[in-house]
A = this chain, B = another copy of it.
Amino acid sequence: MIVSNPAAKDKGNGASGHATIRDVARAAAVSTATVSATVNASAYVSPALQQRVWAAIERVGYQPDAVARSLRKGVTRMLGLLLADITNPFTTAVVHSMEATAHARGYTLMLCNSDEDAAKEETHLRLLRTHRADGVVLMPVGTGADYAARMARLLRIPAVLVDRRIRDLALDLVTTDGAAGTRAAIAHILALGHRRIGIVTGPPGVSAGDERLAGYRAALDGQGIPFDPRLARSGDFRHGPAYAATRAILEGEDPPTALFACNNLMAIGMMRAIADLGLSCPGDLSVACFDDFEWATAFQPRLTTVAQPTDAIGATAVELLLDRLAGAAPDEPRQVVLAPRLIVRDSCAAPSR
């Protein structure tokens, strides 16, 4: 039996698409107020009437209209989700956890992707406002000096920042301690005996990347190793530029014996460059990167990574936001910085030279 498209068929409840609360009221011979009260348990309704109302609801196939409810209550139970890049596996891991927490608390997410484009971000923000989202989870893309001011003007709803800070804009925030994570990774590499360690960084100005670079310098400092700018190049958090940056570092004079990529995407470009240069890992070169991901263990050798607690990040971000919506938050912004975890696998070894 082939069931045909149900949307094309008669809905079975009259001409209009949906049964309304008035249909229920009529069917149960009560007022709409009573129906509303029994559905929401917002006022006393005698057991007998409740029974009748529920039966009527069942009979006419009533489903409350969230749009009408939102209009009346001034609250939509929708959260905007404004992402810098939805194809990044770190992002999707975080989103996965956000979706679960939000739905568990009765909220739905409106998905927007800014594609690392500040103009799109602005458009989306405006859209979220006209749709009356109760709040926004934001992975911001901007870096400029006036960015904070522009966002402040645009952001007229409660917001929580994830992963990246906005300089000079104090908002709720959840992020990972990038400096500590990178410091731990570099310390691990140093402990194996390396002294020349290269790093491919994010675009300058983006907090997440800057912190990681700072962690790298701190680790070097700890061993009294001076920072060599020839060993640090920006890969713009993307794999293409990271490929070029890696080659530039390795083809320079006095190349490093180990490399660190400041995010997952750049690790791809780095691995590709290393392969193209005919170098073996960890024989010729040790490698590690920020962000853990499923594929890390499928590589040969399995990649040593700094894992962010993606589940906690997503859940915390949504909870921070919902607390604020509920008025259960102090006025000053709360900033949660979670601890990363170094996962040592096989891609780092003692230097051969």
Binding site for B on A (CB under 8 A): 1-8, 11, 17, 63-68, 70-71, 74, 76, 78, 81, 86-87, 89, 92-93, 95-96, 99-100, 103, 108-113, 115, 124, 126-127, 129-132, 148-149, 152-153, 155-159, 168-172, 239, 265, 267-268, 271-272, 275, 294-295, 297-300, 302, 331, 333
Kindly identify which residue among B64, B99, B275 contacts A111, using a CB–CB cutoff of 8 Å: B99
Are the CB atoms of B86 and A92 closer together than 8 Å? yes
Which 6 A-B pairs have CB atoms at the shortest separation, nearest pair first? A271-B298, A111-B111, A268-B298, A295-B295, A3-B152, A109-B111
Q: Are A170 and B4 in contact (CB under 8 A)?
A: yes
Copies in the complex: 2
Given A86-B99, A294-B268; A132-B65 close (CB under 8 Å): yes
- Interchain CA distance A110-B331 in the complex, whole Å: 30
Chain B: CB-nearest residue to A148 = B3
Q: How far in angstroms is the closest Cβ of chain B from A4?
A: 5
Within 8 Å by CB of A132, from B5, B67, B130, lies: B67
Tell me which of A100, A111, A168, A267 has the highest count of chain B C-beta atoms within 10 A of its own C-beta. Answer: A111
Contacting residues, chain B, for A1 (C-beta < 8 A) = 168
Known interface pairs A67-B67, A110-B110, A299-B300; A155-B275 also in contact (CB < 8 Å)? no
- Whether B113 and A99, one on each chain, are in contact in the complex, defined by CB atoms closer than 8 angstroms, is yes
Q: In the complex, how many angstroms separate the beta carbon of A112 from the nearest chain B beta carbon? A: 7
- The closest CB in chain B to the CB of A331 belongs to B8
Docked pose: A291 CA to B113 CA in angstroms: 23
Which residues of chain B are near A76, meaning CB under 8 Å? 67
Contacts of A70 in B (CB 8 A): 67
Chain B residues with CB under 8 Å of A297's CB are: 268, 272
Q: How far is the CB of A250 from chain B (nearest CB, A)?
A: 16
Partner of A66 from B132, B272, B275 at Cβ < 8 Å:
B132
